[in-house]
Amino acid sequence: MKKNIHPKYYPDAKASCACGNSFAIGSTLPKIKTELCCQCHPFFTGKQKLVDTARRVEKFQAKMAAKKSATGARRGVKAKRAARAEKKKKEAGKVSKD
């Protein structure tokens, strides 16, 4: 077997989370920084936490709100046809009265 091909192993490497929690683990890196850990991950805490650095969640929520407001003014094909028929009846009634 070849010697000196494996990286150095640190049995007491320090892992730190964005929430402030830190603990010792075994790793090939002396320091590890993470965004989520078992103290702040939604699966373990039961609370919703959105980790979004590129504003993807806010953009999606804004897009869905705009779509919801636009659909309120939209009408279906049957409603449009009924409105056109009603309009034609009114115009036909005006012409016959004259």
Please tell me whether residue 50 adopts helix, strand or coil conformation: coil
The residue whose two tokens read 């320090």 is 14
Q: How far apart are CA 31 and CA 70, in angstroms?
A: 50
38 is known to lie in a ligand binding site: no
Q: Which helix (H) or strand (E) holds 78?
A: helix 77-97
Q: How far apart are CA 87 and CA 98, in angstroms?
A: 17
Binding residues for Zn(2+): 17, 19, 37, 40
Binding residues: 17, 19, 37, 40
